[in-house]
Structure 1
């Protein structure tokens, strides 16, 4: 990010305990942004928060929560609506999705993925929008995925929720244009995080140049929401793919999905 002051002085990041969420926390802390870190894994959050305080002297609040649980989601909503401690940037980064043939996956796990990837993002976004519109200032960065642009066998629920999140974000970007609120959909491709290992996925056949670093994705997303871009696709190969996919006939997309599934 550039050296000029970042437009948001405070941020709440979900899924902050690893991967892209951690990278965003580090980059925002380096810019002096006050942080609220949300994730299920409290020890990892507390360790990250302490490191950021020591390195950058910023205020970091730890808010452990499982956003698939209604009561815990309500606690995060309450923090977002605390007028005494306003959040200027909301980062909906938390996401999950088990790999496998849908018919073989536990339905409770798939339902939880829908709640986390879609419902939680909707509810948290709704919490902050009214105040942001009243203030005429704010940012919402929703971490989606390029998998939402294709039929994705073995990731059917995950890719469907990411398609929802992308369209949701782009619609809100249009609705809030001119209101001083930036809403951005971040669509990374393959990114080096623990997501693949934790969900039993392998992608050894993918060339090295296709892999993105979490820091690269985070920087692109934070820059995009600050600039008011409605959509951000990091990495040259993925920018090309994102430009071509809308022009691709659906039968060809399905064929590509079948090819990737066999790999």
Structure 2
């Protein structure tokens, strides 16, 4: 951890019960940041909260919520607008996806992905931004994916939601320039979390250097939003990919996408 104090003293993290979300919580807890942990799995949240309180003596609140449900999302919105306990950093990390040919996937699953990856982010961000603008400071870290910048057959809805999230984040960063609010989009590639950890999700085998650790992804994103960077791509290999993508001919990108996500 950096020697200087982290600029945000409180944070709310969605999707905190596993993967990058848990890594984000542990990283912020080690920096002495008070936390609100949001996810569906209450038991995991409570175990993580107790771990962080014991290890770092930080205040941790648990807020179980399914962000595909409007009423439960409203409970998180209410927490973000609580003036008595202001949240200085909002981390929109929760996300879902389903692999397969779109025509064969259940529509309710695809709609849930859209609600979680995009609609919930819109609602939570809209809830916290006005108060941040009045205060003249705050941070928003949106966990997107390089899949949103790259053809991803078998992940069509997921990739589309991440493309939306990336553009939404970068536009918000411009809108809030000079306001004291930092909006950062985190764009990891393949990360060792859940079903991605063993290539079980569908991608063709890729070299080891393209697999990222969740802890490293979390640290990079949190450092980036603290520094006011609009875009964060963790990992040396993915930094090169990110630099080359704008100059890659679309037919080549489509061919690479077909190879990577062949099923």
TM-score bin (small chain) = over 0.9
1:251 deviates by 2.2
Closer, same or farther in 2 for the Cα pair 1:63/1:113, shift >3 Å? same
State the partner residue of 1:43.
Answer: 43
Q: Say which is worse superposed, 66-75 or 252-261, in terms of deviation.
A: 252-261
Closer, same or farther in 2 for the Cα pair 1:121/1:244, shift >3 Å? same
The correspondence of residues 242-261 of structure 1 with structure 2, limited to 5 A, is 242-261=242-261
1:256 deviates by 1.6
> What's the TM-score once normalised by structure 2's chain length?
0.97
> What's the TM-score once normalised by structure 1's chain length?
0.97
Determine the C-alpha separation between the residues in 1 that align with 2:262 and 2:64.
Answer: 38
Closer, same or farther in 2 for the Cα pair 1:19/1:113, shift >3 Å? same
Contact 2:14 2:21 in 1 (8 A): yes
Closer, same or farther in 2 for the Cα pair 1:111/1:197, shift >3 Å? farther
Contact 1:97 1:199 in 2 (8 A): no
Closer, same or farther in 2 for the Cα pair 1:257/1:161, shift >3 Å? same
Q: Which runs of 4+ in 1 moved over 2 A?
A: 195-200
State the partner residue of 1:30.
Answer: 30
1:204 deviates by 6.5
Q: What's the CA shift string for 1:208-244, capped at 9, x where partnerless?
A: 1211100000000000000000000000000000111
The alignment partner of 2:261 has SS state of helix
State the partner residue of 1:142.
Answer: 142
Determine the C-alpha separation between the residues in 2 that align with 1:203 and 1:256.
Answer: 11
State the partner residue of 1:188.
Answer: 188
Q: Structure 2: which 5+ runs fail to align?
A: none
Q: What's the CA shift string for 1:138-158, capped at 9, x where partnerless?
A: 000000001001110010000
Determine the C-alpha separation between the residues in 2 that align with 1:204 and 1:46.
Answer: 36
Contact 1:145 1:187 in 2 (8 A): yes
State the partner residue of 1:170.
Answer: 170
Closer, same or farther in 2 for the Cα pair 1:198/1:105, shift >3 Å? farther
Q: Say which is worse superposed, 1-10 or 219-228, in terms of deviation.
A: 1-10
Contact 2:32 2:56 in 1 (8 A): yes
Determine the C-alpha separation between the residues in 2 that align with 1:40 and 1:245.
Answer: 35
The alignment partner of 1:179 has SS state of coil
